Amino acid sequence: MTTSSNDLPYPAQASARPSSDDRIWAASAHASAILVMWGAIVPAIIWAWQGRRSAYVAFQAAQALAYQLLQAVYMWLVGMGIAAVMIGLMVLLAFQSPDEVTGIFILEMAAMICIFGAMGLYIILGLGAAAACLAGRGFIYPLLGHWILNYLKPAALSEDPA
């Protein structure tokens, strides 16, 4: 299913550019991704406080909230899984020769690099969304954005544009 810019609940055309206040609120919701695991608080407040005033802000804040909640759950689950594996590996280290310890240590470091790399990509995508909002362009997260769009569309169509 493709979505044209006319179907979006925010002004995607240059002639209907969102106000500077709307752009700042939307960008703030996305930029809070730098507050890893706690960043969802900011878009939740923005969505509750400014969402009824502007469909653009409502959509961008709802996307940022969903994205950051999804990231928090993902990082918690992955973190707990990696922690359990690392504790298990450390227990094994106590009974291994020094040559085997090096291999397990390298495996643990590779896992940590992957975790921090994923966190970096998460933050970069959030900051990219913030930059797009500051420029007045609409931003849609891959996969997640279309789900949020379908969730908010009935509310955006029922609003009086006055």
Q: What is the pLDDT of residues 42-99, one digit of tens each?
A: 999 999 999 889 889 999 999 999 999 988 888 888 888 888 887 887 777 777 776 6
CB 6 within 8 A of CB 15: no
* 43 found inside a domain: yes
d(C-alpha 124, C-alpha 141), whole Å: 12
User: Is residue 107 over pLDDT 70?
Assistant: yes
| Residues 126, 46, 63, 80, Cα dihedral to 10° | 70
d(C-alpha 144, C-alpha 142), whole Å: 6
CB 133 within 8 A of CB 61: no
Domain count, the chain: 1
Token pair in block for residue 47? 């969505």
User: Is residue 122 over pLDDT 80?
Assistant: yes
CB atoms within 10 A of CB 36: 15
Show the domain range for 125: 5-152
d(C-alpha 117, C-alpha 61), whole Å: 25
User: Is residue 3 over pLDDT 50?
Assistant: no
162: helix, coil or strand?
A: coil
d(C-alpha 37, C-alpha 45), whole Å: 15
d(C-alpha 48, C-alpha 51), whole Å: 6
* 159 found inside a domain: no
Report CA Rg, the chain: 21
Mean pLDDT (the chain, rounded): 80
User: Is residue 113 over pLDDT 80?
Assistant: yes
* 24 found inside a domain: yes
* 162 found inside a domain: no
User: Is residue 142 over pLDDT 50?
Assistant: yes
Cα of 32 vs its chain's centroid, Å: 9
Read off the pLDDT of residues 20-31 as tens digits, 9 standing for 90 and up. Answer: 999 999 999 999
User: Is residue 33 over pLDDT 80?
Assistant: yes
User: Is residue 111 over pLDDT 70?
Assistant: yes
